[in-house]
Structure 1
């Protein structure tokens, strides 16, 4: 009996040495989860059960349990290196066979799929191209779309500015009223405006706008004070009038300096985009867009533009990728725009200990683990994602080295049990 008891102890100690050695070997493996041996004692049972004074029959390895506690997160310079802060696993697919991992080494393959260092594709949710929203619940391979971003024609321009109330009406404008027939004085005064002569206007400001092909055009607004609270605004695009017959837009301010007329936004119609040589660009003609001056004022202060915006942009090449803590894959383009290209998925299990280890720092679903719960990072019990970082092994080397000492002593002690039993047996055999 003692031989078997000692032998079971040696086997248990050897198992612990193997497990501890494996932990130490993977101390530097990204996403690795350490294991521990869990032992149980053994008692021989008779038909009627064990007596109260039964002697144990040794030890058995009850389980090799994996410890899924969080590993340290180390930061890298690769935006596709990913770490999970909290619960969950990355989902990868190898030709449809799903596996689950905490190792966040990811990059792209020749076709733009996001893959780990074994070529398995990272799973996530795609984007509805029509609405730009995430197709939650529809799992797919995450892919980086490297094609250039489409341009967008300007449909709205907004400016907030202050026109100096102390400005004087340009001399040419005033002189036209003096010399012209009263019936045509206004028209004559308007015609004195010359964008190449700064003495014919009081202030100006410019902004780039874009046609349907993404070509940039400079839109300039020139302001001419016509009386105490009245101004003409001449709008030029690429040096050409943007309004029919070069008719200015009349602006009126009330006695407190706030913009009163016209109603906002104003519509600029009939723009035909031209290139720098005055030739059509090939973009859409007869374009209309809104021009909004809401919030503009006429105070006794220098002319100033406090805000300007427009919603068009040119085409842009892919400049970089970012993944936020909710797993959204965001592409950055050289035109300053961003676009969500997908969202990675995380999986959790009712019983993580029931997962089947596959090697390569991955696990597979089993009947003991239960079905995976798939969702976006940060939802439910799922953790969040840290881009540009990797989760290190959760192995504590100091603890493992102590475990080695304990396992070694257990091995030696159980060997002593066998040695002692052998000596006793020899004594009995030598009896005459």
Structure 2
């Protein structure tokens, strides 16, 4: 009966517009939700077969939910270094637990990057989801797998413990005064450093030769301790561009097995006529170093054996330090050291975290040491709008979304990571309020269908009277 179909069409209109109101309500409520993706209700007519000629049966309307999960939201600056946004395609891979993640634990996908460090050191967002990434091994190597989420783990930046970087390179920039020092004792009693050396003078001024110029530098040993090493120079009176040079420990007791007190190396440093360092003819380390190859300080580990070594009482590993002295010059100006740049770092603890555009997560220590922790992987889908919502602004894979592919940011169509940024909601309030008005009117119109059909039925019933 056509009146009954009109009633049902009116009811379907009420139901469909109620769904539209619910979707608009969700959108408006989540205007300020990080990376929220708006939902829209589209309407489609329902067609029924017209079995009786000259009569029309209304089919009504049905509500079809459409998710705009793949839409990019505006990226806005944020205060925290661990607030992350994705510029382009992809989703963060997350799970609902930090420690002891197994292959049976579900993984979810989100663009909500409001991560912070929890009490256990894990990166977790406001919804309680833990960020997953490929961990770096002890050498800083990362192995990625685009199809196996079990290779990823919750990123933790606190379980690194304290870190020490043993000095392996020192770059020195300085000048030696070509004029020497007026009134210096000279090198008459120096005898190549085998007797009355500058190392002797440092240990006991009464027994050694006073240098023309000395400076000290700090190096970090394997235990994080700071060791003092000195370099002393004495102008060679027999050669205009040659200097006697020694390297020794301060105090001398730090080094055992040395020919002179604490002495590590001794020889000549020579210069060209233009004042530049003549590495090819310098013998500070016993042999010609060779152009472009920094000389090396080598000290064996603490032991009681023979040979040049750290004193056994220090209990530290061997040291091998490239000493780049190629920036030394010899000009007629006061001897001075412009800069000493060692690469070592004493004991330090994690003080911050940094995330690069390609997803590398590095821990920053308070001794300026930086360690690679993990790399964030981004999951991409053939149809991101087909993902299933699971709450907390996260999604799970579905048959409509297709299979995931996890890759490093900026590779294979995946977007880049923007640190200190958050993706805004894709909700447009003006559009939602306009939809609210039209939905309200459509709902009222559908109710009028029911009212009118009811009046017609009442007239039909009154015919009997």
Q: TM-score range by the shorter chain?
A: 0.7 to 0.9
Greater shift, 29-38 or 137-146, is seen at 137-146
Q: Name the residue aligned to 2:313.
A: 280
Matched, 1:16 2:20: yes
- Cα pair 1:346 1:374 within 8 Å, conserved: yes
Aligned match of 1:79 in 78, 81, 86? Answer: 81
1:329 CA drift (Å)? 1.5
Any idea what SS the aligned residue of 1:366 has? coil
Matched, 1:229 2:241: yes
C-alpha change, 1:133 and 1:185, in structure 2 (3 Å) is closer
2:114 and 2:323 map into 1 onto residues whose CA distance is 49
Matched, 1:127 2:136: yes
Q: Name the residue aligned to 1:88.
A: 90
The two structures, once aligned, show a CA RMSD in angstroms of 3.3
Q: Name the residue aligned to 1:359.
A: 391
Which runs of no fewer than 5 residues in structure 1 stay unpaired? Answer: none
- Cα pair 2:17 2:439 within 8 Å, conserved: yes
Matched, 1:214 2:228: no
Q: Name the residue aligned to 2:285.
A: none
Aligned match of 1:161 in 174, 186, 196? Answer: 174
- Cα pair 1:173 1:192 within 8 Å, conserved: no
Aligned match of 2:123 in 114, 118, 141? Answer: 114
Aligned match of 2:431 in 395, 399, 402? Answer: 399
Q: Name the residue aligned to 2:344.
A: 312
Alignment of 1:412-427 (within 5 A): 412-427=444-459
1:411 CA drift (Å)? 0.9
1:5 CA drift (Å)? 2.3
Which runs of no fewer than 5 residues in structure 2 stay unpaired? Answer: 146-150, 283-287, 304-310
Q: Name the residue aligned to 1:266.
A: 295
- Cα pair 1:169 1:226 within 8 Å, conserved: no
Alignment of 1:128-207 (within 5 A): 128-129=137-138, 131-137=139-145, 138-168=151-181, 170-173=183-186, 176=188, 190=197, 194-195=201-202, 200-207=210-217
C-alpha change, 1:221 and 1:169, in structure 2 (3 Å) is farther
Any idea what SS the aligned residue of 1:378 has? coil
1:232 and 1:162 map into 2 onto residues whose CA distance is 14
- Cα pair 2:50 2:56 within 8 Å, conserved: no
1:279 CA drift (Å)? 8.9
1:332 and 1:132 map into 2 onto residues whose CA distance is 14
Which one has the bigger strand percentage? 1
The C-alpha deviation readout for 1:47-89, integer Å capped at 9, x for no partner, is 8xx9999776322113333353222334333333322222211
TM-score for the superposition, normalised by structure 2: 0.79
1:33 and 1:270 map into 2 onto residues whose CA distance is 62
Greater shift, 94-103 or 108-117, is seen at 108-117
1:407 CA drift (Å)? 0.3
C-alpha change, 1:402 and 1:67, in structure 2 (3 Å) is farther
- Cα pair 1:204 1:220 within 8 Å, conserved: yes
- Cα pair 1:15 1:37 within 8 Å, conserved: yes
Any idea what SS the aligned residue of 2:345 has? coil
Matched, 1:350 2:360: no
Matched, 1:334 2:366: yes
1:185 and 1:411 map into 2 onto residues whose CA distance is 103
Any idea what SS the aligned residue of 1:369 has? coil
Matched, 1:388 2:420: yes
TM-score for the superposition, normalised by structure 1: 0.85
